[in-house]
Amino acid sequence: MIDINIRPCDNSLLEALQHKINSKTKPAGALGMLESIALQVGLIQNTLTPALLSPNMVVFAADHGIANEGVSAYPQEVTGQMVLNFLSGGAAINVFCRQHGIELAVVDAGVTSELPAHPLLIDKKMGAGTDNFLFGPAMTQKQCEQALMAGMKIVEEIADKGCNIIGFGEMGIGNTSAASMLTHILCDIPLLHCVGKGTGLDDDQRRKKLSVLEQASQFHRLTPDADPIQVLSTFGGFEIAMMTGAMLKAAQKRIIILVDGFIASAAFLAAHALQPTILAYSFFTHLSEEQGHIKAMEFLRVRPILQLNMRLGEGTGAAIAYPIIQSAVNFLNEMASFEEARVSTKFN
Ligand SMILES: Cc1cc2ncn([C@H]3O[C@H](COP(=O)(O)O)[C@@H](O)[C@H]3O)c2cc1C
Ligand SMILES: O=C(O)c1cccnc1
């Protein structure tokens, strides 16, 4: 049984933070979304002088039984091959983490291939990929709970190193299908609007993906009021369930959560269904090109920070949004107020 309680943010500094933001030498509101980001970070950390410490990125990787149904443009072995690419530093996420001084860890949550021991690799292999959810649940409830707990443990260890901001990313061929199913059920949105081209399906292939996922939806017949753990075990991947657990633990520890794209948002939807208070600790870093993502963002009533037509995953959106969060924290801490700089305030 997963027992996690996320306290709502303490909003006692709300007015003082807003006053501090408004007193900076700029027209009121002129830093736009940076202002709401600064406010949210201040509330998460419950301070007027927040700080971002030891930023980390965790990329959860696993394979999916549904990949056997021709739902991805790439073969399943790419998951393990990309993990090796992460370990040798050559993937997009490596580039962006290096650029922004973000520490990277890769989790084998259930990749089909055997992976070598490596300093960046955390071994939490739950099996050689999930079962095909077209014919039964992707994993058992027990496996799902184990994955959630493994994710929590990972975040506990990262938190012990003094980190207070974590980006969440993933790798797993077929996982846009899992994410589509989770979004469909958890947001109660027709599957048609949740299924996109993933790694690059053409229109015919996307129609086939939709029909496979419609069959799975008919087979399981889960409704939005189903137990979120059941929804997660039915359709989720091991990487998605582990990410859900990791996000829950991060919020419980008041760590800032940077949610990447469509798949990380699906993991977030499961966490949110379990503990809606997680929302206050989270930033949605970019709007993915994957069409279901905008639906998930509308459901959560959140506005992603960036919109760059990206559809990669790996945590890339979270990594490139990190310096924007840094700018928000820096202006709050370092910018002069009207009074300090002796600048005249607005007429009224
Ligand atoms: C080379 C390569 C690198 C990737 N990095 C992330 N993904 C992304 O694509 C996959 C999901 O798309 P689908 O459901 O269509 O398989 C995930 O692994 C995701 O992280 C990649 C995909 C490929 C091919
Ligand atoms: O937005 C994402 O997370 C995404 C979209 C397509 C493929 N992989 C990941």
> Is residue 3 domain-resident?
no
Q: How many CB atoms lie within 10 A of CB 208?
A: 15
Same domain, 62 and 116: yes
Which domain CATH number covers 29? 1.10.1610.10
CATH number at 167 reads 3.40.50.10210
- pLDDT the model gives residue 307: 98
Does one domain contain both 44 and 69? Answer: no
Q: Which ligand is nearest to the CA of 201?
A: 1
Q: Which of 197, 260, 263, 286 to mutate to test the pocket of ligand 2 (most atoms within 8 A of CB)?
A: 263
Catalytic residue among 35, 289, 314, 340: 314
Same domain membership, residue 210 and residue 169: yes
Read off the tokens for 219: 């087979």
Residue 314: active-site member:
yes
The sign of the torsion formed by the CA atoms of 253, 259, 260, 265 equals positive
Does 96 reside within a domain? Answer: yes
ipTM of the complex: 0.99
In a domain, 1, yes or no: no
Measured distance CA(99)–CA(3) in Å, rounded: 37
| Residue 293, pLDDT score | 98
What is the CB neighbour count within 10 angstroms for residue 61? 29
What are the tokens at 287? 């709007």
Q: Is residue 9 part of a domain?
A: no
My answer on whether 170 and 73 are in the same domain is yes
Return the biggest CA–CA distance within the chain: 70
Rounded Cα distance between 145 and 1, Å, is: 7
CA of 176 to the centre of ligand 2 (A): 7
Among 82, 176, 199, the mutation site with the greatest number of ligand 2 atoms within 8 A of its Cβ is 176
**Residue 89 and residue 39 share a domain:** no
Residue 97 within a domain? yes
Q: Tens-of-pLDDT digits for all 348 residues of the chain?
A: 677 899 999 999 999 999 999 999 999 999 999 999 999 999 999 999 999 999 999 999 999 999 999 999 999 999 999 999 999 999 999 999 999 999 999 999 999 999 999 999 999 999 999 999 999 999 999 999 999 999 999 999 999 999 999 999 999 999 999 999 999 999 999 999 999 999 999 999 999 999 999 999 999 999 999 999 999 999 999 999 999 999 999 999 999 999 999 999 999 999 999 999 999 999 999 999 999 999 999 999 999 999 999 999 999 999 999 999 999 999 999 999 999 999 999 897
Say if 6 falls within a structural domain.
Answer: no
The C-alpha atoms of residue 179 and residue 184 are separated, in whole angstroms, by: 8
**Tokens 């008919």 -> residue:** 218
Atom number in ligand 2 closest to CA 265: 3
Tokens read off for 295: 């639906």
Residues 25 and 61 in one domain: no
Residue 33 lies in a domain: yes
**pLDDT for the residue numbered 346:** 87
Strand pairing partners for 61?
Answer: 108, 171
Residue-by-residue DSSP string for 106-155 = EEEEE-SS-----TTEEE---SSS---TTTS-SS-HHHHHHHHHHHHHHH
| Atom 5 in ligand 2: residue holding the nearest Cα | 311
Q: What is the pTM of this model?
A: 0.98
- What is the structure's pLDDT at 1? 64
Question: Do residues 268 and 242 both lie within one domain?
Answer: yes
Report CA-CA distances (Å) from 251 to 101, 247, 277: 22, 6, 8
Whether residues 78 and 198 share a domain: the answer is yes
45 and 168 part of one domain: no
| Same domain? 222 vs 189 | yes
Q: Are residues 27 and 103 in the same domain?
A: no
Task: Name the domain count of the chain.
Answer: 2
What is the CA angle 98-104-109, rounded to 5? 150
Angle among Cα 42, 250, 7 to the nearest 5 degrees reads: 65
Contact, 322 vs 57, CB < 8 A?
no
Residue 348 domain flag: no
As given in the structure block, the two tokens for residue 24 are: 């900076």
Does residue 293 share a domain with residue 180?
A: yes
The boundaries of the domain holding residue 115 are 56-323
Going from the Cα of 146 to the center of ligand 1, the distance in angstroms, rounded, reads 25
C-beta of 82 in contact with ligand 1 (< 6 A):
yes
